[in-house]
């Protein structure tokens, strides 16, 4: 995209990964160190080609996460940052608010816990009863709900592109179509190389999303985790249904799982989507249903942590798989809170694939996970809400340099 040079052929900074976390990191580096030389390196022919371009587009508020977690802190700051950045750069966004709908007494109890957590996390939230829910969203049913007014919607690839344009304007280089296959570090520099490139830098930050564990191993970081790809399949509702709801409608999540459940999401482009589910993927970057990559499948199935996690969540896993294979099961999840939906309402839509770090002992890494070597920082786990939190994550990383 551009060519800012280096004096001695060595960049001050290099960022590997052109998703929103990588682009935000490059932006933050040049903002904090104006005049530094920087290369942002991405293997695809466009930025935001993976998780950043295949998500729900929700600006999360930060209600779910343990108060002492990085997620809680960085998500709140990120929500505010996105709205300000979008307003300043003519990127459409809407603070449409979100309703978390409880559909039975067990969910109502979990909803009350979430209410307490929201207050602890400093996020404005309102508990409403079934009658008030029916007044606000007449097509949605539940025994109670939480309303989070600050939740919004945005197009994250647009945010990433605007950030990248500013990186270029600040003198950074954005190198697309540049896959990296090796990382070598000395006392003074790090060199990353691929089939057609070799780039040397004094400081490297790796934000490789679905490839984070592989990049870490190439850098010699001892990893006791593996990235397990979880597919998130969406449907789109017919245009005639686009005004079904005004706010985002979420179920009350199971706190044992890292995923938030199938939700109804108005998009910033005026569509209404439903999803995503969470099924094991056998290809980290294969978006078509049934995609299998031998290398990715061996990586997951040969990892003891995966078998432990599969055993611990066998019922949830089976349900998710059934709902992925049979539309009626998927529909049943949505009808818990929106009973009028029918199979005919679920039109095909794209899938996303989440990079979820799983430890060898079978536990899922819930928080953002960051490791460093003397000359590099690796973002190892940046699941949702990392799109919302990208700039505060970037500030956190750059503060460590």
**Binding footprint of ligand FAD on the chain (CB under 6 A):** 16-22, 41-44, 49-52, 54-58, 60, 179-180, 207-211, 232, 276, 352-354, 382-388
Report the DSSP pairing between strands 376-381 and 197-206: parallel
Sheet strands (E) in 216-307 = 225-236, 248-251, 263-266, 272-275, 279-280
N-terminal to C-terminal alpha carbon distance within the chain:
26
**What minimum distance in Å lies between the beta carbon of 48 and ligand FAD?**
6
Taking the least distance from each CB to ligand FAD, the nearer of 52 and 324 is 52
Nearest to 189 by CA among 205, 204, 206, 201: 201
**What minimum distance in Å lies between the beta carbon of 382 and ligand FAD?**
4
Taking the least distance from each CB to ligand FAD, the nearer of 203 and 356 is 356
Rounded CA-CA distance 205/186 in Å is 15
Helices 390-399, 70-88: crossing angle, 10 deg rounding = 110
**What minimum distance in Å lies between the beta carbon of 32 and ligand FAD?**
19
Taking the least distance from each CB to ligand FAD, the nearer of 208 and 341 is 208
Taking the least distance from each CB to ligand FAD, the nearer of 96 and 144 is 96
Helices 20-32, 390-399: crossing angle, 10 deg rounding = 50
Taking the least distance from each CB to ligand FAD, the nearer of 107 and 285 is 285
C-alpha dist (Å) from residue 260 to 5, 49, 174, 201, 324: 44, 23, 34, 39, 16
Taking the least distance from each CB to ligand FAD, the nearer of 17 and 266 is 17
**What minimum distance in Å lies between the beta carbon of 285 and ligand FAD?**
8
Q: What is the DSSP string of 143-184?
A: SEEEEETT-EEE-HHHHHHHHHHHHHHTT-EEE-S----EEE
**What minimum distance in Å lies between the beta carbon of 353 and ligand FAD?**
6
**What minimum distance in Å lies between the beta carbon of 218 and ligand FAD?**
8
200 phi, psi to nearest 5 deg: -110, 140
**What minimum distance in Å lies between the beta carbon of 130 and ligand FAD?**
27
Chain residue whose CB lies nearest ligand FAD:
19
Nearest to 365 by CA among 268, 216, 223: 223
Rounded CA-CA distance 365/212 in Å is 13
Rounded CA-CA distance 362/165 in Å is 41
**What minimum distance in Å lies between the beta carbon of 172 and ligand FAD?**
16
Taking the least distance from each CB to ligand FAD, the nearer of 4 and 383 is 383
Taking the least distance from each CB to ligand FAD, the nearer of 99 and 144 is 99
Taking the least distance from each CB to ligand FAD, the nearer of 144 and 277 is 277
**What minimum distance in Å lies between the beta carbon of 355 and ligand FAD?**
6
Contact at 8 Å (CB) between 58 and 204? no
Strand partners, 193: 182, 198
């Amino acid at each position: 995209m551009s060519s800012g040079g280096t004096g001695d052929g060595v960049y001050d900074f290099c960022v590997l990964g052109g998703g929103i976390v990588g682009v935000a990191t490059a932006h933050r580096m040049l903002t904090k160190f104006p005049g530094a030389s920087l290369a942002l390196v991405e293997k695809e022919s466009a930025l935001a080609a993976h998780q950043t371009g295949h998500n729900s587009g929700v600006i999360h508020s930060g209600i779910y996460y343990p108060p002492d977690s990085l997620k809680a802190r960085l998500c709140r700051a990120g929500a505010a940052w996105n709205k300000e950045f979008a307003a300043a750069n003519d990127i459409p966004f809407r603070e449409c608010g979100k309703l978390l709908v409880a559909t039975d007494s067990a969910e109502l109890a979990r909803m009350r816990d979430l209410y307490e957590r929201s207050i602890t996390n400093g996020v404005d939230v309102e508990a409403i009863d079934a009658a008030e829910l029916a007044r606000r969203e007449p097509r949605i049913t539940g025994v109670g709900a939480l309303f989070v007014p600050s939740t919004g919607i945005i197009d994250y690839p647009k945010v990433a592109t605007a950030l990248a344009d500013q990186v270029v304007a600040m003198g950074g280089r954005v190198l697309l179509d540049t896959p990296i296959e090796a990382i070598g570090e000395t006392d003074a520099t790090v060199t990353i190389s691929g089939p057609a490139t070799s780039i040397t830098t004094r400081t490297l930050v790796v934000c490789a999303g679905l490839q984070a564990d592989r990049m870490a191993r190439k850098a010699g970081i001892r990893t006791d985790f593996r990235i397990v790809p979880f597919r998130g399949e969406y449907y789109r509702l017919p245009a005639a249904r686009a005004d079904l709801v005004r706010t985002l409608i979420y179920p009350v999540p199971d706190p044992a799982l890292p995923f938030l459940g199938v939700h109804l999401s108005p998009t910033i482009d005026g569509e209404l989507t439903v999803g995503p589910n969470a099924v094991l993927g056998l290809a980290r970057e294969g978006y078509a249903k049934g995609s299998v990559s031998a290398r990715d499948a061996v990586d997951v199935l040969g990892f003891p942590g995966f078998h432990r996690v599969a055993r611990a969540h066998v019922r949830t896993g089976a349900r998710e798989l059934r709902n992925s294979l049979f539309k009626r099961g998927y529909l049943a999840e949505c009808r818990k809170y929106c009973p009028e939906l029918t199979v005919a309402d679920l039109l095909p839509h794209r899938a996303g694939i989440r990079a979820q770090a799983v430890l060898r002992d079978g536990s899922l890494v819930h928080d953002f996970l960051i490791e460093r070597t003397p000359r590099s920082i690796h973002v190892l786990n940046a699941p949702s809400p990392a799109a919302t939190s990208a700039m505060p994550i970037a500030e956190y990383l750059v503060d460590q340099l």
